[in-house]
Structure 1
Amino acid sequence: MAAPVETKVKASTAGAYLASFGLLEVLVEVQDHPLAIGFLPDAIEPFVLALVPAGIAFVSGWKARHTPRL
C-alpha cells in the first residue's frame, strides 16, 4: 500500500506551481525594469529571479503541518 502524500509536499508543490504560474509575468517585468534588479550583473539576474518561486515553495512547505502518521 502506498503511503499518503504529506501535506507539506502538497503545500510546497502548490506554492511552486502558483509562484511559477502567477508570478512569471511579474518576474519578466521585473527583469526588464532597470531599477528593480539593474544593480546585479546580467549573468546573476536569472538566478536571483529564480529564487522567488523557490522561496515561496520553501515557505509554503515549511508553514504546512505534517501529515499525521497512523
Structure 2
Amino acid sequence: MIEILMWLAVPYIVIGLVFSVTHPDDVRSLEKQVQTQLPAGADALSFGAATLLWPMMLITGPVEEHCDVG
C-alpha cells in the first residue's frame, strides 16, 4: 500500500514542480504573504507550498485575485 502511494506521489510532485516553475508570479505572491510570518525561509516555503497545492491554485486562479497582497 505504501509503495502504491509513493508511486502515485511521483507524478503529483513532478506536475507540482512544473507548475511552480511555469507560474513564478503565483510563487512570488505566496512569498509576499509568507514573508510577514517567516522572513528567512519565505522563498523556499512558498515554492514548496505552490508545488504541493498546485491543484487548488490551478482551479482557483492567481493568488492576487483572492488575497490582499501588497
- TM-score norm. by structure 2 comes to 0.45
- TM-score norm. by structure 1 comes to 0.45
Which structure dedicates a bigger proportion of its chain to helix? 2
